[in-house]
């Protein structure tokens, strides 16, 4: 006689199946949170940029009311920022603009702006210990085809020097020194301001020539060419930040172009 074995039918879930279900739910929940966070950040970015655009209209109206000579030294009261957005007028006044600069004068202007930023303290930052450190210390050149930006991470740039070259270095710069992590922000801000100011002050990219420090009228080197007399132009810079995103920072100047990082 053949015996027929009857297996009991399973009911419920095994421990392994429960673990799998929980894992899937956790993954889906994580993806949902990340997606929602990304959407929120994108919305905050767009709001900040929209507020900056609206603020420029009020600044231009104030300029016209002053006769076209100067922008206001404080934000007009008609400018109302969106919730969680803070608008700050960081700079207002005039900026020197040079016309018809030669290739060598263009290199002179870049070097001058670079050193101006150092002198203004834009190469410094406060580390985790509350100590102010100079991460970029000087700018200079010794040859007609190169320029050096000196600091904790010194860089030599050879001609032609493009804006994309400078910004690519700034935007990808990282440090493993967690105690001085602020160096990353300092480098990014410094280089973005360097690129922006050259164009604002009448320079251009790529920079194709600097000058030889040893050059004289008789030895064949490339001599430094002094800049002409500048024409002061009205200038301002407004920054936008968000209370929920400490790394969200945009700014705009009178050229009406919204740019990342600080003024």
**70 within 8 A of 93, measured Cβ to Cβ:** yes
C-alpha 240/C-alpha 224 separation (Å) is 39
Predicted pLDDT of residue 247: 86
Global pTM value: 0.79
* pLDDT tens digits, one per residue of 71-83: 999 999 999 999 9
Q: What's the CA gap between 142 and 95, in Å, rounded?
A: 27
Confidence of residue 67 (pLDDT cuts 50, 70, 90): confident
Of 65, 173, 77, the closest CA to residue 125 belongs to 173
Q: Please give the Cα distance from 237 to 261 (Å, whole number).
A: 12
Kindly tell me the sign of the dihedral angle through the C-alpha atoms of 61, 89, 168, 152.
positive
SS3 136: strand
Give yes or no for residue 207 having a pLDDT over 60: yes
Range scoring the smallest mean pLDDT among 21-35, 209-223, 234-248: 21-35
Please give the distance of CA 89 from its chain centroid, rounded to a whole number: 17
Distance CA 190, CA 186 (A): 6
Under 8 Å between Cβ of 205 and 194? no
d(Cα 115, Cα 123) in Å, to the nearest integer? 10
Given the structure tokens 């930006």, which residue do they identify? Answer: 149
Cα angle for residues 208, 214, 218 (degrees, 5° grid): 95
- Express each pLDDT in 226-257 by its tens digit: 999 999 999 999 999 999 998 899 999 998 89
Q: Whose CA is closest to 204, among 90, 118, 113?
A: 113
Longest dimension (CA), the chain: 120
- Tell me the chain's radius of gyration from C-alpha atoms: 28
Structure confidence by residue, pLDDT tens digits, 103-162:
999 999 999 999 999 999 999 999 999 999 999 999 998 899 999 999 999 999 999 999
User: Residues near 145 by Cβ (< 8 Å), separated by ≥ 6?
Assistant: 158, 159, 209, 210
**How far is 3 from 110, CA to CA, in rounded Å?**
95
Q: How far apart are CA 192 and CA 239, in angstroms?
A: 14
Closest to 183 (Cα-Cα) out of 156, 155, 151, 157: 151
Q: What is the rounded average pLDDT of the residues 86-107?
A: 95
């Amino acid at each position: 006689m053949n015996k027929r074995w009857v297996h009991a039918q399973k009911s419920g879930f095994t421990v392994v199946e429960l673990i799998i279900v929980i894992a899937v739910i956790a993954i889906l929940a994580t993806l949902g949170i990340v997606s929602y966070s990304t959407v929120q950040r994108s919305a905050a970015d767009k709001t900040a940029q929209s507020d900056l655009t609206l603020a420029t209209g009020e600044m231009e109206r104030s300029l016209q009311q002053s006769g076209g000579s100067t922008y206001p030294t404080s934000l007009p009261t008609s400018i109302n920022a969106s919730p969680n957005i803070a608008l700050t007028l960081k700079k207002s006044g005039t900026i020197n603009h040079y016309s018809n600069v030669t290739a060598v004068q263009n290199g002179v202007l870049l070097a001058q702006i670079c050193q101006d930023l150092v002198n203004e303290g834009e190469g410094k930052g406060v580390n985790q210990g509350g100590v102010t450190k100079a991460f970029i210390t000087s700018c200079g050149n010794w040859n007609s085809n190169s320029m050096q930006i000196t600091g904790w991470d010194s860089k030599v740039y050879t001609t032609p020097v493009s804006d994309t070259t400078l910004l690519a270095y700034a935007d990808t710069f990282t440090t493993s020194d967690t105690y001085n992590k602020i160096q990353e922000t300092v480098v990014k801000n410094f280089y973005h301001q360097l690129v922006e100011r050259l164009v604002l002050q009448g320079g251009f990219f790529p920079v194709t020539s600097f000058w030889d420090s040893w050059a004289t009228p008789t030895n064949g080197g490339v001599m430094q060419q002094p800049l002409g007399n500048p024409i002061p132009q009205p200038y301002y810079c407004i920054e936008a930040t968000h209370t929920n995103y400490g790394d969200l920072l945009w700014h705009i100047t009178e050229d009406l172009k919204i740019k990342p990082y600080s003024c």
